[in-house]
Structure 1
């Protein structure tokens, strides 16, 4: 099959015209050519075709093309975040996660509670890629989510921030809701050593929490900090005389 770029019929760049060809291989070839051009003037049309593209590989190549003109890409993607089509919102957030422009944080953050779970998860992922610490309190406010996918997404996003997230997450260990306290401990467990060393005192306090799930989560988090002498000392003491059998067992296995 001949995959040479077709001649333009409307005065457009031939590579741009190729993006409407019925053969996905021709569209892919056109996308690669456009990436080499990196012309921001073409971004609006490329973005329009990205939202319509059916082939996953061509979509990913078009996403790469747009990242070559980051300012134009950010503008086009941000404009689609209120599109009623969840698939377009998802693709726009995917593009924003690739560009990772700190200037897009405000618009991305609006979608961490998107009614479509995949869109909300992609928004959280985009924030993790951008790594602007200003969104940490916003994410910490959502600790304690009961839906497992949402909970895991928040855990993964906050853990990507590492040390900058630790003070705010550790403060949530004092929250009145046990679900929030246990989730905060889970996040600190994922962050691990050495970034979460400073949370050792707060986690130690949670070993005496009224709720068994919080005690368990705090113990598991401390297990990830055993290179830190205070955490190791806490686990050693817990392994000897803690009243919770699960805490004692994990502490013994950790030291």
Structure 2
């Protein structure tokens, strides 16, 4: 966890920091709102640290907003340090916040291990951050890395991966073609669903993936017979 800087703390700082850790979520939400409404560099470490442990989604979102109100040179180093945390929420929320800040200096911190994190929420946050921060010259390599995970997780995870790939644009086409040629029907279906989203963002996502899951469950011969 990022250490909280206690230097130059005045009574107002102390009250706000205490409120960020209050039992009542509405108190914490108001404190995060106050921190963003009156940005103070002295709160940067405390806001980053609170992101790692805050249980309420709305408070976490407000903490992220408060961090975006501070200079990136103050927040990005601490957020990047959180990406090495053993706490999944610390990694996930730091990635989410980095995606909102959009400072390209954070790109080197988006490692392969984060893009393939065992925790689905961390991985999803890493995908979203990566497509925001990736330099133009590395977009195709990122597409290949993301596409290597076709077939991962449940529908929500797969849709997140597809949306991240689609956000990269036409550079994903070589990775899609590789997915089409996979021996795994779930991978092929996920690649096809992603291609449809690339061509038409309003296209349905589920059918091919559901059909592939049915093929895996029944076996190709039985699935084919059932369709006749």
TM range (shorter): 0.5 to 0.7
Distance 2:91 2:100 in 1: 14
Q: Is the 8 A contact 1:143 1:183 kept in 2?
A: no
The two structures, once aligned, show a CA RMSD in angstroms of: 3.3
SS at match of 1:22: coil
| TM-score, L = length of structure 1 | 0.61
Unaligned runs of 5+ in 2: 1-8, 202-207, 209-228
| TM-score, L = length of structure 2 | 0.67
Q: Deviations over 1:151-180 (max 9, x none)?
A: 4443221111223434x43663786x3446
Structure showing greater radius of gyration is 1
Distance 2:142 2:59 in 1: 34
Q: Is the 8 A contact 2:139 2:168 kept in 1?
A: no
Q: Count the aligned residue pairs.
A: 188
Distance 1:95 1:87 in 2: 12
Higher RCO, Cα 8 Å, sep 6+: 2
Distance 1:26 1:174 in 2: 51
Matches within 5 A, 1:43-58: 43-58=44-59
Instruction: State the shift of 1:128 in Å.
Output: 2.9
Unaligned runs of 5+ in 1: 1-8, 195-212, 214-255
Q: Is the 8 A contact 1:174 1:181 kept in 2?
A: yes
Match of 2:198 in 1: 191
Distance 1:165 1:72 in 2: 34
Instruction: State the shift of 1:193 in Å.
Output: 6.1
Aligned match of 2:124 in 109, 113, 121?
Answer: 121
Aligned match of 1:112 in 106, 112, 115?
Answer: 115
